[in-house]
Structure 1
Amino acid sequence: MSTYIVVVDDEPDVESMFRQQFRRDLRAGRFLMEFALSAPAALEQVKAIPDPSLILILSDINMPGMSGLEMLPKVKEARPNVPVIMITAYGDDATVKRARELGAAGLLSKPIDFGLLRQEIDQRLEMTA
């Protein structure tokens, strides 16, 4: 069974950055990463990936159209057991509080600490093993 992580960000260069950071994991087949440039596209991807393959969703908060915070309750409704970590350049207390109220499992500030993110992914992989 393949294990998936969905990354949602409207910045096209995010995909290459994540693929570079996790290239060994991806080559080794530890998990697959799917990328969406918008919240609506992410919702479609999240619904298409079978249970329990999807282990984590990483989403930017500030995106045109539907924001990550607007997407969060829709994702939690569709996949209540999949943790969602929000990513923001503006990690103010109000944003953190709102994300938690909406069901976010955590919040990462930009620039992303990929070491910390790797630990989170490793924990999720251990839970599914």
Structure 2
Amino acid sequence: MSVYILVVDDEPDVESLFRQQFRRDLRAGRFQMEFAPSAPVALERAAELGEPSLILILSDINMPGMSGLEMLPRVRAERPEVPVIMITAYGDAETRRKAIERGAEGLLTKPIDFAQLRQEIDMRLEQAA
């Protein structure tokens, strides 16, 4: 079974950063990563990736057009079984509260702690197995 992690961020260098951090996992086929440059594209991909293959969505909060916080309730309504972790440069209490209230499983602050993220992904892989 192929499992997917969907990363939503409007910054083009994010994809290469994630691919570099998880290159061994991706090469070994533990999971696949898809990248969406905007919230609308992410909603489309989340709908297309059938169950149970989509195991996690990682989304930036600040994006042009629809923000990650605006996308969050929509993706939770369409794919309630898929956990969403928000990523932000501003890890203040108000941002965290809004993200959790709208259905986020958690909030990571930039620069991303990839060791922490790896633990989160490993947990999701175990649950999907």
Q: 1:41 maps to which residue?
A: 41
What is the Cα deviation at residue 45 of structure 1?
0.5
Q: 2:8 maps to which residue?
A: 8
SS class of match (2:58):
strand
Separation in 2, partners of 1:113, 1:92: 17
Q: 2:111 maps to which residue?
A: 111
Q: 1:60 maps to which residue?
A: 60
Corresponding letter in the other structure for 1:122: D
What is the Cα deviation at residue 7 of structure 1?
0.1
Instruction: State how many pairs are aligned.
Output: 129
Question: Following superposition, which runs of at least 4 residues in structure 1 exceed 3 angstroms of deviation?
Answer: none
Q: Is 1:90 the equivalent of 2:90? A: yes
Q: 2:122 maps to which residue?
A: 122
Separation in 1, partners of 2:128, 2:96: 27
The Cα RMSD (Å) is: 0.4
SS class of match (2:30):
coil
Separation in 2, partners of 1:19, 1:88: 19
Q: 1:32 maps to which residue?
A: 32
What is the Cα deviation at residue 24 of structure 1?
0.2
What is the Cα deviation at residue 128 of structure 1?
1.0
SS class of match (1:121):
helix
Q: Which structure 1 segments of 5+ residues have no match?
A: none
TM-score normalised per structure 2? 0.99
Q: 2:81 maps to which residue?
A: 81
TM-score normalised per structure 1? 0.99
Separation in 1, partners of 2:127, 2:42: 23
